Amino acid sequence: MGIHVIKMPDLGEGIAEVEVVAWHVKPGDTVKEDQVLADVMTDKATVEIPSPVHGIVTSLGGKLGEAMAVGAELIRIEVEGAGNHTGDASANTTAARQQVANPVPAKAPAQSTAGTAEEFPPITVAQPETVVTTVTSAETAAPAQAAPSRPAPAYTQSGGSSAPAHHGRAPGEKPLAAPAVRQRAWDMGIELQFVTGSGPAGRISHADLDAHVSRGQQKAAEGDRRYAVLEGEQAMPVIGMRRKIAEKMAEAKRRIPHFTYVEEIDVTELEALRVQLNARYAGQRPKLTLLPLIMRAVVLAIRKYPSVNARFDDDANIVTTYNPVHLGIAAQTDAGLMVPVVRNAEARDPWSAAAEVARLADAARTGKALREELSGSTITITSLGALGGIVTTPVINRPEVAIVGVNRIVDKPVILNGAMVARKTMNLSSSFDHRVIDGMVAAEFIQTIRGYLECPATLFVE
């Protein structure tokens, strides 16, 4: 028996610390080759760490949510044969030793339930191809092997995430039930797709049908729940992506003296132009929203006021302004707020910008965005579309110095040439870092944007 140590891999780009966001195994678990051991997260990307070996987990290198150094010991696995580890005195990095302050005592393999597990063949869970980047430990460069064409004769305890799902079907999957159960469900008017199956492979039994029915009756018997007294609470550790967002937001508000400037824009003509462009290029070019047109206005206004397209290193006291406009676009994802970046926005026409925004937003939402696509912006636009409200106070995407917030469009009575007319108006709520941007510059910057948006032809003439 040897010990195989997996170290925190170097995930590139000078990242020194990686956070453990999920453990999929615990000490005493038997793991198979390619089984996912943990999910770790860098600034923006989440990565799965697979096991390069077959064996029993003896200790984990860190707690959930702990930031670990690259090269630190992530996990220890007892393996057949020699393993890759010859003793604690060997050439482990300092960082590694720091992290293994309290290794969890290894459970004797005999204590695991391997005895009962032998009656069951291993059940492997298919790895969906859409998961985030999977890497092998940098040290053990074992190539990721495809799962064997049939279960290997070696047995493993099926537990944790690799246990077969007894209920819950993939979308489109037919519920599994014997003909008599199907017929009884039809007779009772029950759609089997809503019934949880307790049998092997999610098979629905007569008892499952009964349970489904009694649950329904229980619900009905509980009476009016609208004014019920509620109890209980839910504590959620703020880890991973959520913690990053929390840190960034707090730091931005703590360090930056924000001031927010709100101006109303008459977008009647801009909207008319957008509708016309979409009609003209229907089917040939991507449909335009207002965002790519606003992006263009921001790019053009920056030409006159380059100081807003900057990053302020407030530790070194250096403001760097940039010639290219790398436009951050705040996007909501299931994991939280992300800011994918449209690089060189100055070189994109509205359609190209629209396509790039759509591509990036999709990549961010599906977790496929690259690190470079989620960092390096020089100014940010935040827009919630119809949810944009009338005024917002956007938080600057530090170390940038400005953020342009887009509010919703409303039909409003407006006095125009002495007559009251209905116009489409929209507010821009923009925040600036008052340490480096004066109120005058900010106001002129926004007024320039307003000029472009209210007279949209100027967006296209140079």
Partner 1 sequence: MNQLVTTLLVIGGGPGGYVAAIRAGQLGIPTILVEAGQLGGTCLNIGCIPSKALIHAAEEFEKAGHYAADSPLGPSPLGISAAAPSIDVTRTVGWKDGIVKRLTGGVGALLKKNDVQVVNGFARILDGKTVEVKRTDGEVQRIRCEHLLLAAGSEAVELPFMPFGGNVVSSTEALSPQTIPKQLVVVGAGYIGLELGTAYRKLGAEVTVVEAADRILPAYDAELTKPVAASLKRLGIDLRLSSSVLGLNAGVRVQQANGEEIVLSTDRVLVAVGRRPRAGGWGLESLQLDMNGRAVKIDDQCRTSMRNVWAIGDLAGEPMLAHRAMAQGEMVAEIISGKRRHFTPAAMPAVCFTDPEVVVVGMVPGEAEAAGIDAIKAHFPFAANGRAMTIESTDGFVRVVARRDNHLILGWQAVGRGVSELSTAFSHSIELGATLEDVGGTIHAHPTLGEAVQEAALRALGHALHI
Q: Which residues bind partner 1 (CB under 8 A)?
A: 120-121, 123-126, 147, 149-153, 164-165, 174, 176-179, 182-183, 186-187, 189, 199-203
Residues 6+ apart with CB under 8 A from 407: 388, 389, 390, 391, 392, 426, 427, 428, 429
Burial 238-259 (b: 16+ CB within 10 A, else e): ebbbebbeeeeeeebeeebeee
Rg (CA), the chain: 29
88, 313, 411, 438: the catalytic one is 438
Residues 6+ apart with CB under 8 A from 355: 286
Least separation in angstroms between residue 162's CB and partner 1 is: 9
Nearer to partner 1, 15 or 178 (CB): 178
Least separation in angstroms between residue 147's CB and partner 1 is: 8
Nearer to partner 1, 151 or 306 (CB): 151
Q: Is 54 known to be catalytic?
A: no
Least separation in angstroms between residue 194's CB and partner 1 is: 15
Inter-residue contact 388 to 407 (CB < 8 Å): yes
Least separation in angstroms between residue 53's CB and partner 1 is: 20
Nearer to partner 1, 169 or 365 (CB): 169
Q: What is residue 105's DSSP assignment?
A: P
Inter-residue contact 119 to 34 (CB < 8 Å): no
Nearer to partner 1, 83 or 121 (CB): 121
Least separation in angstroms between residue 33's CB and partner 1 is: 16
Inter-residue contact 15 to 145 (CB < 8 Å): no
85, 212, 258, 434: the catalytic one is 434
- If you count them, how many residues does the chain have? 462
Bridge partners (DSSP) listed for residue 166 = none
Q: Is 206 known to be catalytic?
A: no
Q: Which amino acid is at 306?
A: P
Cis, peptide link before residue 9, omega less than 30° from 0: no
Q: Considering only CA atoms, which of 377, 365, 424 is closest in space to residue 403?
A: 377
Bridge partners (DSSP) listed for residue 403 = 380, 431
Nearer to partner 1, 32 or 348 (CB): 32
Residues tagged active-site: 434, 438
